[in-house]
Structure 1
């Protein structure tokens, strides 16, 4: 069996197929190959860059996708829209491996629909050779960048970028208070002279030293492990967001049984450990944590201590109030 990488359109559904729709590079290809080998089910992988892109595609009537990987707040949104299939994955024996504290979706507190997939932090990926130092957080980074006239990148992500502004002003990342959001926007706008771009494609820029640092996910630890002399990743001392994606089956899935088999497959600790070893994310699968490479298992960036965990916040579905956030984001993006 071979894995078919697909750009946009899922393959025509067949009894022996599974159409996976995931974030770009967010799964170890060896995991999909193992699923194919173990089940005889052919996997077709399509990718997206954001929760919003994935939802828009599904809502626009795209059919054929079986499995998606929404962040927790997006899972809640999709549940409200009745887009998710009840899988009863929590009844499967392998579900005992899941740390219940990762059942974060308000729409699915018992894990009847989706399976926790991966989690991590959003912090600062930096080139210490360019900066001339290690950084401890946003204030430290910005002071250094201004002093040396360097450039950074920010994610092209409304909520993540405004979260930086909110955190630096001592507010909660799920705030919809107009005054708090305006202060957050002002903080981010003040950074703009030093922002080369809003992008998800910043890892090569940091590696090459084209920018001093990037607002990025802990998955950048894969680059840090490859060049520990020059590269670093830090969870900002001021606090940060954490993300968690879950594996969900779409109500419109043409291959529901195969999709459920994939969720069952992904409760296996050795499968999860195989994924984590390439992805450098945290996992809700408790036995898998001890099966990952030592560098990952002992990394305080990937598996933060309890004190750091208290400084992390996760996004929630803001409902109609998301419009307030969207207006503020538009101002940030268009500000000179």
Structure 2
């Protein structure tokens, strides 16, 4: 799939402008586009439903031009290259990548006062710590994913704690991604699996990592197989090779939607997740139109329901669960108390975290 949509004949004619003078004066073209009601959005495939975009364009007269991306780094590189004259008004950034974009002055702080429907955003996301950097909010959270405890409900009736992953009755019937589950094990042991509180404290961090590493090594006999790809854990559940797993929400949701007896939850010790946000680009030529789109997304839970159905991620918008059928609710939503247990990845201290977790992962696998 190309990361950039091909221009239509209509947009190509507008780009050409019809005269050499227009080509010699791109700033004039920019002003004309803004006055004419244009909005340039860079986002991922299946994030913005076409039906929603069609209605937004009809209601506002704003032409929305979507450029698809498949990588955070590509967005960063494009915005950096364009500098003070971006061709994008809205980009899509994961919260744990904020520091890179903000430090390079690629985003503008979000003015929630310009979003009348901000109240329709789930309270867990309205002023979340991960979303506030340097005293400002930087984007509208729209879709999220998380690490959950997946279980075969025919075999495991309840799982309130991550402790069940170490229960001898499920010996050789569990599975996880070692690097990801290490940070979950840190949370289970009462440590900071996201390393935010360990900034400048490498000795404290290393001690916590070592405890989690040793816990996993001690209980290696619980694990049927360490996995890397979502398809692996899905197949193990289908074959009933395992009854319990640490799983990203998307992998578990696919099994649930396909009718398998799987449920995913966030145990009492909590878990980690990521959140995609729509961000207004610094010096965006059509910032006013960008805010109109953000407000329209929050105007109705129907938009959030459509976004979560087609993307497979959980919606951040209030009322979405009421519009889903029972199977969709099971696959794509969580009770509010479980949503509030999710610690969304921070951009703070990522290098220390990556280095220590990578080393511990190798040690667990080699033990």
Q: Which among 120, 129, 135 is matched to residue 97 of structure 1?
A: 120
* Contact 2:114–2:291 (Cα < 8 Å) also in 1: no
Per-residue CA deviations over 1:144-170 (Å, capped at 9, x if unaligned) read: 6962x3462428xx6x44321211222
Q: Which among 343, 346, 356 is matched to residue 316 of structure 1?
A: 346
Q: CA deviation at 1:272?
A: 1.9
Matched, 1:234 2:258: no
Q: Secondary structure at the match of 1:266?
A: helix
Alignment of 1:181-196 (within 5 A): 181-188=209-216, 194-196=224-226
Deviates more, 1:187-196 or 1:98-107: 187-196
Q: CA deviation at 1:280?
A: 6.4
* Contact 1:31–1:275 (Cα < 8 Å) also in 2: no
Deviates more, 1:9-18 or 1:76-85: 9-18
TM-score, with length taken from structure 1: 0.71
Q: CA deviation at 1:180?
A: 0.8
Q: Secondary structure at the match of 2:107?
A: coil
TM-score, with length taken from structure 2: 0.66
Alignment of 1:1-336 (within 5 A): 6-9=1-4, 18-22=40-44, 30-31=51-52, 35=56, 39-48=62-71, 54-55=72-73, 58-59=76-77, 61=80, 66-86=89-109, 88-99=111-122, 101-102=124-125, 103-104=127-128, 105-107=131-133, 111=137, 113-119=138-144, 121-128=146-153, 132-134=155-157, 136=159, 137-143=161-167, 147=171, 149-150=172-173, 152-154=175-177, 160-175=180-195, 176=198, 177-188=205-216, 194-201=224-231, 204-205=234-235, 208-209=238-239, 212=242, 213-220=244-251, 222-223=253-254, 225-228=256-259, 230-251=261-282, 259-269=290-300, 270-278=302-310, 282-286=314-318, 288-289=319-320, 291-293=322-324, 295=326, 302-306=333-337, 308=338, 311-318=341-348, 321-335=349-363, 336=366
The alignment yields a C-alpha RMSD, in angstroms, of: 4.1
- Between the aligned partners of 1:191 and 1:258, the Cα distance in structure 2 is 54
Compared CA separation, residues 227 and 10, structure 1 to 2 (3 A): closer
Q: Secondary structure at the match of 2:227?
A: strand
Gaps of 5+ in 1: 1-5, 49-53
Normalized per residue, which structure has more helix? 2
- Between the aligned partners of 1:211 and 1:33, the Cα distance in structure 2 is 46
Deviates more, 1:85-94 or 1:60-69: 60-69
Compared CA separation, residues 329 and 34, structure 1 to 2 (3 A): farther
Q: Secondary structure at the match of 2:142?
A: strand
* Contact 1:76–1:106 (Cα < 8 Å) also in 2: no
Aligned pair count? 314
Q: CA deviation at 1:273?
A: 3.0
- Between the aligned partners of 1:145 and 1:80, the Cα distance in structure 2 is 49
